[in-house]
Amino acid sequence: MSKLKKLIDEITEFGINPKVELTDKNDVLKKLLVGIYSEFLNAEFEFDEADYEKEPEFDYKEILKNVKSNFQNFGWYSSVLDSNKMEPNIEIGIGDELDDLTDIIKDLLAVKWRMENTSLNDALWNFEFSMRTHSEQHLVDLLKRLKERSE
């Protein structure tokens, strides 16, 4: 749990602080994303049936503005929609590195809020659920883009 909290604190800084001072943000981000992914794959918790208040709404536009300030070279990319298909005219889609990281940070801020305001099991359930249903794809896509940038 303390490792997950530390990872969340570090990665959400890119969405809270418009001027994160690091020499190689891309490498740092890559390591943080891998750490978050590892925590997701190894998350264990018991379902907490207590009723808690909902986390506050985290401002997507404000997070995006800070992410954009920290990663000015991030932008649009194309991706294969179904990598299992092997056809001559494969369908492609468009992604956005800024949106990927903003969505990841927004979801992790909700997990952090739950860590501080509800229970460990509630926070871990929310983490696992938001990753499985939303952030995991953003994370995998962003890791792929970061790898391609370093080639």
C-beta of residue 12 within 8 angstroms of C-beta of residue 109? yes
Q: What is the pLDDT of residues 108-150, one digit of tens each?
A: 999 999 999 999 999 999 999 999 999 999 999 999 999 988 7
Q: What is the pLDDT of residues 77-115, one digit of tens each?
A: 888 776 667 777 777 788 899 999 999 999 999 999 999
Q: pTM score, two decimals?
A: 0.92
